[in-house]
Amino acid sequence: MKIVFFSVTGQTRRFINKLDFSSVEITPTDPFFAVNEPYILVVPTYEKEITEFVEDFLNYSFNRQNLLGVAGTGNRNFAELFIFTAKDIAREYQVPLVYSFEFSGTPKDVANFKKVVNEIDIKTVR
């Protein structure tokens, strides 16, 4: 299963680097590339102006159609605003919010996220 992610401070990238999945990063310099296979999107929580590159990516080519779910990272101190970027994307693109974690994740988050992604991958193959 492919993982596509966006990282601002590097925390999301650190989480992704702990995984054993093929991944690609959305960058502000070139968000216009196609992912021609099913994928999970992982995004940090920031205002829309900062994450607009994610929207550019999602609306490019067939990226919207290949999106299976979204995971979010953020700071739980922000209460109802925790992972609001991931929640907004899930709602707008009508995909499930598959996982949430704080900052760059714990070893337990890594294990749980891998399990969730593997279960989605198994369902997708069928």
Domain ranges across the chain: 2-125
* Global pTM value: 0.95
In whole angstroms, give the CA distance from residue 126 to residue 122.
Answer: 7
Record: fold of 2-125: Rossmann fold (3.40.50)
Q: Which residues pair with 44 in a beta bridge?
A: 73
Residue appearing with tokens 């299963």: 1
For 70-104, the pLDDT digits (tens) are: 999 999 888 888 999 999 999 999 999 999 999 99
